[in-house]
Amino acid sequence: MTQTRRIVLSSDHAAIALRQAVADHISAKGWEVVDIGPATPESTHYPIHGAAAARRVASGECRLGIVLCGTGQGIMMAANKVEGIRCGVCSDTFSARMIRQHNDANMLALGARVVGEGLALDIVDAFLDAEFEGGRHATRVAMIENPEA
């Protein structure tokens, strides 16, 4: 599958610099980065960028996605509105690992006004290096998609 190590990145204006640092870091780890911007720091609307990145993941074009805004919260909420997306906002490495292992998160959200660059890159590493454990967690993840079942 061609999208195995392809990851989409996007942010709003509050996280342009951290997004670039994340892009450089992920590229150095051997991932193909699809950075969909924005390229310039003018004030913009995080829901546009969260949804755009989420669609790249939901379509299968990219295996994972990372979205960033001031807190990570708004862009995470926008991403999670796209069917099939499980995006968690993380400010610690334990949560970043667990959202992959237990929740099969396919997107990570970061807050550029919350975490510094060093911690953010450690969080990215924890997210990318973890794998979904399946088993009982697969049952629960399926229930997220279809809570009535």
Q: Which of 40, 82, 87, 92 is nearest to 68 (CA)?
A: 87
Scanning residues 5 to 34, which ones bind ligand RB5 (CB under 6 A)? Answer: 12, 14
- Which of 62, 69, 87, 90 is catalytic? The answer is 69
Decide if 9 contacts 69 (C-beta within 8 A).
no
Nearer to ligand RB5, 3 or 70 (CB): 70
Nearer to ligand RB5, 70 or 132 (CB): 70
Q: Which of 70, 14, 68, 5 is nearest to 33 (CA)?
A: 5
Distance CA 53, CA 62 (A): 9
Q: In degrees to the nearest 10, what's the CA dihedral of 57, 109, 124, 92?
A: -150
Cis-peptide into 147, omega within 30 deg: no
Assess 74 for contact with ligand RB5 (CB under 6 A).
yes
> Is 87 a residue of the active site?
no
Shortest Å, Cβ 22 to ligand RB5: 15
Shortest Å, Cβ 74 to ligand RB5: 2
Considering only 3, 38, 48, 73, the residue that binds ligand RB5 (CB under 6 A) is 73
Assess 91 for contact with ligand RB5 (CB under 6 A).
no
